[in-house]
Amino acid sequence: MNNEAIITASDLKRHYKIRTGGFFSKPSLLKALDGVSFTINGGKTLAVVGESGCGKTTLARLVTMIEQPTSGCLEINGISGTTRSEREKRELHKLVQIVFQDPYGSLNPRKKIGAILEEPLIINTALTASERHEAAREMLAKVGLTREQYNRYPHMFSGGQRQRIAIARALMLKPALVVADEPVSALDVSVQAQALNLLKDLQDEMNLAYLFISHDLGVVRHISDDLLVMYLGSPVEQGRKTDIFRMPIHPYTRALMGSIPSVNKNMRRKRVRLTGEIPSPLNPPSGCAFHKRCVFMSEVCTVQRPELRLVEDRLAACHHAEKVAAIPF
């Protein structure tokens, strides 16, 4: 199995110019994503977590090349995201596929499942009609549906089944990387675990790299190998899932984890709750963007932006990371 890097992202940024006043007003800069770097190996999952508006979908749009970064670069299976070669561009679009959150909106209601699954093959491969048929039926079986469901329309399926179809469609071109933007958050809790298990099984079988976006740490804990915690467009903590869950160091990660309900009464610890509003990304606080909500904040936090740096076994962007780390979680 190839367990080498499938994707390397270096200092990705996406800034938008926004006009908040009239037409002649000076545009403000909205830093939707402001310097994100990571690597994902074959068969591994990087989960991106953070509250609404922290830049998760923006990152998904850059990685799937729906949008170009303002700066920074991507390399996928050795091909640069800015390649000018048409052949490499086609290859990149096969290598990266996406599964969206909404299983109702993402499938064309007028098309039968078979046609939905075969569409990427028609556009990107030279397979014959009967080969495409067979590939679609095989994929249906792989995602836990039946080959007979090939002729049905999306409305005949439940939310969980539709998400299986969306996953099947994403896998038709045998991608190396799947970007899943909140893939289970629209599903009933009872079917979420099944969808996650399916994703895990398919990952093992096809050695897929996943960029898994979620605001739900319970889900992330289940599926990820590595974790990237974002706040207002910037990474605040990044490392192995086991290390971060065992001992979150950044005050924001601690606060996020403090809002996971504790299942076991005996395990209950004193936890810091996340309070206060998310600041406007058009007018972020000075210094550390989290300082107005942070219980560990001091003078330096209001004036100096903390750099992402190595703290123990992970990266964290906090002036007081060592002090926080010394406090048991």
Ligand X SMILES: Nc1ncnc2c1ncn2[C@@H]1O[C@H](COP(=O)(O)OP(=O)(O)OP(=O)(O)O)[C@@H](O)[C@H]1O
What residues make contact with ligand X under the rule CB under 6 A? 16, 18, 30, 32, 52-58, 215, 281
Candidate residues 177, 306, 314, 325; the one interacting with ligand SF4 per rule CB under 6 A = 306
Question: What is the SS3 string spanning the chain?
Answer: CCCCEEEEEEEEEEEEEECCCCCCCCCEEEEEEEEEEEEEECCCEEEEECCCCCCHHHHHHHHCCCCCCCEEEEEECCEECCCCCHHHHHHHHHHEEEECCCCCCCCCCCCCHHHHHHHHHHHHCCCCHHHHHHHHHHHHHHCCCCHHHHHCCHHHCCHHHHHHHHHHHHHCCCCCEEEEECCCCCCCHHHHHHHHHHHHHHHHHHCCEEEEECCCHHHHHHHCCEEEEEECCEEEEEEEHHHHHHCCCCHHHHHHHHCCCCCCHHHCCCCCCCCCCCCCCCCCCCCCCCHHHCCCCCHHHHHCCCCCEEECCEEECCCCHHHHHCCCC
Tell me the residue nearest to Mg ion as measured from the CB. Answer: 57
Residue nearer to ligand SF4 on the CB measure, 53 or 144: 53
Site string for ligand SF4, 219-258 (x = CB under 6 A): --------------------------------x-------
If one asks whether residue 318 binds ligand SF4 (CB under 6 A), the answer comes out as yes
Q: Which residues partner with 237 through β-bridges?
A: 229, 316
Choose the binding region for Mg ion from 29-37, 55-63, 263-271, 298-306 (rule: CB under 5 A): 55-63
Instruction: Select the binding partner of residue 227 from Mg ion, ligand X, ligand SF4, none (C-beta < 5 to 8 A, by kind).
Output: none
288 binds, among Mg ion, ligand X, ligand SF4, none (CB under 5 to 8 A by kind): ligand SF4
Beta carbon of residue 3, minimum distance to ligand X (angstroms, whole number): 29
Q: Which of 46, 294, 308, 311 binds ligand SF4 (CB under 6 A)?
A: 294
Decide whether 52 or 128 has the Cβ nearer to ligand X: 52
Smallest gap from Cβ 310 to ligand SF4, in A, equals: 15
Q: Does 301 bind ligand SF4 (CB under 6 A)?
A: yes
Does residue 57 belong to the site contacting Mg ion (CB under 5 A)? yes
Report the nearest approach of ligand X to the CB of residue 313 (Å): 26
| Residues forming the site for Mg ion (CB under 5 A) | 56-57
| Residues forming the site for ligand SF4 (CB under 6 A) | 251, 288, 290-291, 294, 296-297, 301, 306, 318-320
